[in-house]
Structure 1
Amino acid sequence: MEVFSIDGAQIHALDVGPRQAQLAILIHGWSSSSFAMSPLIPLLSRRFRCIAIDLPGYGESPPLRERATIGRYAQLVGRLITGLSEHPAVLIGHSMGGMISTTLALQVPQLVDRMVLICPTISGRLSFWINTFVSPITMMERFPFFSRLLSLLEPSMLSVTDSLMKPASFAERSAISEADYLRLRADARRPGQGRVRAECFVAMRRQDLSGRLRELETPALVIWGAEDNTVPLRDAGVVADEWRNADLRIVPKAGHWPHFETPEVTMRYIASYLGLPSLISQPDALVQPAEVTTQITEFLVNSQLGSGLSLAQRTRLAAHLERRRYPPQALVDRINQESTDLYLVQEGTLEVWSPPIDGDPTSQRLLMTVVAGQITGEMSLLDGGRRSADLRAGEEGVTLLALRRERLRALAEDDPALGNAVLWNIASALALRLRLANWQQQGLVRELQALKR
């Protein structure tokens, strides 16, 4: 593991992925360690430099000299980001790590590009089960005598630990493996962490974010297990009411650990949100810098494709658009060419030329010029047919955002609301083009009628 020294704190972390890629900081929850984020690393490290940290006092990281608070943890994460990159990072937080991520986004929004939060603590009020059966033990651990006593008794009380931990953490039909459960249990009862566990339990209660989520501009994907008995679903209601840029997903057959219990569903949501392949083994050519995705997100506001979409929706769609640049008069697509790509013009112009007559290229005519914000190629995207015209870059070249048919399909499956909105926008643009064509044909008819008189 890497060790980062920040303000006197020694933070141990896994450092995986391309060194020059955008940072993704993975932040575990209460009574846990960086292992809690391990299922996500193989997927995320394809595009991001993943830093999965052990918060001070947890895992291999020594505790802070001062009392642990959510604000202090958020400050340390912010310093880690500025020390490793000049660009904002993606934050991936589980449970208390979600509260830390959200707190940082409120404190210094410039440091946070996007967030993926899994069962995040929002109000700090944990479930009845936790407050009734777990918190008394946690409060006792504040005192060295009781902490040592509980550590000595722990090996002979594993059945008690299981009876407390399993109902609070996992769904009735949870698919978590025995090996993963044993490792999570070992982290939850790691000796010597009684004080920091107690401090963090109090810190979460004091860091109630209810009423503050309206201030957030940072987009986020929020995933919640339908049977979470640690951070109850009432906190998901706060997210739904207050956070307009949050994309909230409830996962069946999952408790507090969806990425361990229902990994396929959870990975698919995250992959779709961040524009990654759903399966780790899939090849994927679309791995573009994070700043490009951010620029595309902003551009979509006034485009035919992104009309009416929320920031969270535009962020997700932008991750699936591939930027392509063509010099002046370059051939983009040829007539009869097989293609299922839709093109959105970002800069410059794209010219649509008629088919040549008897193979004579001089007989081609300019049919239409597609300008910034407009789309073309929607018919091939929808029906998979061949191109019906030549597409060429305009006199100043063109920058296109390409949406592949398979990506739109995957997006529609993972996010039906967004897929529906995108298809509606495509249909609206097509309807506008047909209305224009009808108007032009009516004009030609009137001219012909005038000539006959």
Structure 2
Amino acid sequence: MEQHPVNRRTVEVDGTELSYLTSGDPEAPPLLLLHGTFWSRVWAPVLPELGQALRCIALDLPGFGASAGELTPEHAAVPALAQTVLDAADALGLGAFDVAGHDIGGGIAQHLAATSTRIRRMVLMNAVMFDSWPVPAVERFRDQQVRDATSVADLLEARATSTRGSVQRTLSDAELADYLSPWHDPARARSWTAMAAAADAQYTLDLVPALTKAAIPTRLVWGRDDDFQKIHYARRYVTEIPGADLVEVDGKHIPTEDSPNEVAQAIREHITEKS
């Protein structure tokens, strides 16, 4: 089957140029894909296949990936990022849409599902939920002194370690360099530490009653050997939140790199399923 090309484009949101990867027919149902402590690169391996049936938009949040701007801890909190996503959806001309979230992007997706009437279906891929986060390597950036003392070189070294630990296979030097490329820029490095500083499990814990009530059709797609977001949280989610199911795949925290075909198939089947 034909693989759709992936292109990078920009949209202006509140005066800031936000970048996104896109694939698929502009008239197809829209799927907005959100990142967390990585960037839109995590979705790149599955966009050509997803684009066969969907209009995929993998957004870079302000100060992440190829987007302009810079996050502060205030603007990096889940509710604030969720509003940024809604503003981006408005700028892109989206009404109701489907959403997929990875890592903290999954926390943003849950916030949208719980508080907005615009989400049709949701995918959570190795996402934060309940009290699964922040992990210690992220939590330490709550300390302003730690953030101030972290140089670009320090962050690059930490992100290299985290990225290698997020993928089961061995990334090539070129692949690793691609993942790390945004954080050579000081503003993007500060945006990452701001997101880390704003990480708080209360944001997802507080959503549980609303998610239970909303019962948005949700598929969890999980690399079962994730060391950061353990699979037992995904299994708990599907037992506690109505309308959710789980597809386990080989891989770790970024299963799009370890099992791209299985991840793409699981997402596509869920989003295109007849209600």
Asked if Structure 1 and Structure 2 have the same fold, meaning a TM-score greater than 0.5 normalized by the shorter chain, the answer is yes
1:13-52 per-residue CA deviation (whole Å, 9 max, x = no partner) reads 223322222221111121x222121112111222222222
- The RMSD of aligned alpha carbons is 2.8
Alpha-carbon distance in 2 for matches of 1:164, 1:22: 34
1:140-160 per-residue CA deviation (whole Å, 9 max, x = no partner) reads 5521xx23xx324567xx5x7
Alpha-carbon distance in 2 for matches of 1:124, 1:188: 28
Contact in 1 for aligned 2:103/2:125 (Cα 8 Å): yes
Alpha-carbon distance in 2 for matches of 1:72, 1:260: 29
Is the aligned partner of 1:11 residue 2:18?
yes
- Structure-2 residue corresponding to 1:233: 231
Match of residue 45, structure 2, among 39, 50, 53: 39
Contact in 1 for aligned 2:32/2:98 (Cα 8 Å): yes
1:209 partner SS: helix
Alpha-carbon distance in 1 for matches of 2:179, 2:235: 27
Following superposition, the deviation at residue 188 of structure 1 comes to 6.2
The 1:33/1:196 distance shift into structure 2, 3 A limit, reads same
Match of residue 175, structure 2, among 175, 180, 202: 180
2:236 partner SS: helix
Match of residue 263, structure 2, among 263, 266, 278: 266
Contact in 2 for aligned 1:22/1:87 (Cα 8 Å): no
Alpha-carbon distance in 1 for matches of 2:133, 2:222: 14
Structure 1 stretches of 4+ with a deviation exceeding 6 A read none
- Structure-1 residue corresponding to 2:198: 203
1:216-365 matched pairs, under 5 angstroms = 216-252=214-250, 254-275=251-272, 316=273, 318=274
Following superposition, the deviation at residue 123 of structure 1 comes to 2.6
Alpha-carbon distance in 2 for matches of 1:215, 1:67: 28
Alpha-carbon distance in 1 for matches of 2:102, 2:30: 17
TM-score of the aligned structures, taking structure 1 as reference length: 0.52
- Structure-2 residue corresponding to 1:69: 77
Match of residue 132, structure 2, among 125, 143, 146: 125
Alpha-carbon distance in 2 for matches of 1:79, 1:124: 28
Alpha-carbon distance in 2 for matches of 1:251, 1:122: 19
Amino acid of the structure 2 residue aligned with 1:170: V
Following superposition, the deviation at residue 260 of structure 1 comes to 0.7
Amino acid of the structure 2 residue aligned with 1:81: A
1:107-186 matched pairs, under 5 angstroms = 107-108=115-116, 110-123=117-130, 125-126=132-133, 130-131=135-136, 133=137, 135-136=139-140, 139=143, 142-143=147-148, 146-147=149-150, 150-152=151-153, 158=157, 162-163=160-161, 165-167=163-165, 169-171=166-168, 174=169, 178-186=173-181
Alpha-carbon distance in 1 for matches of 2:187, 2:94: 36
Alpha-carbon distance in 2 for matches of 1:42, 1:225: 20
- How many pairs are equivalent? 262
- Structure-2 residue corresponding to 1:101: 109
2:199 partner SS: helix
Alpha-carbon distance in 1 for matches of 2:95, 2:163: 39
Unpaired runs of at least 5, structure 1? 276-315, 320-453
Unpaired runs of at least 5, structure 2? 1-7
Alpha-carbon distance in 2 for matches of 1:255, 1:247: 19
State percent identity of aligned pairs. 24
Alpha-carbon distance in 1 for matches of 2:96, 2:125: 20
1:378-397 matched pairs, under 5 angstroms = none
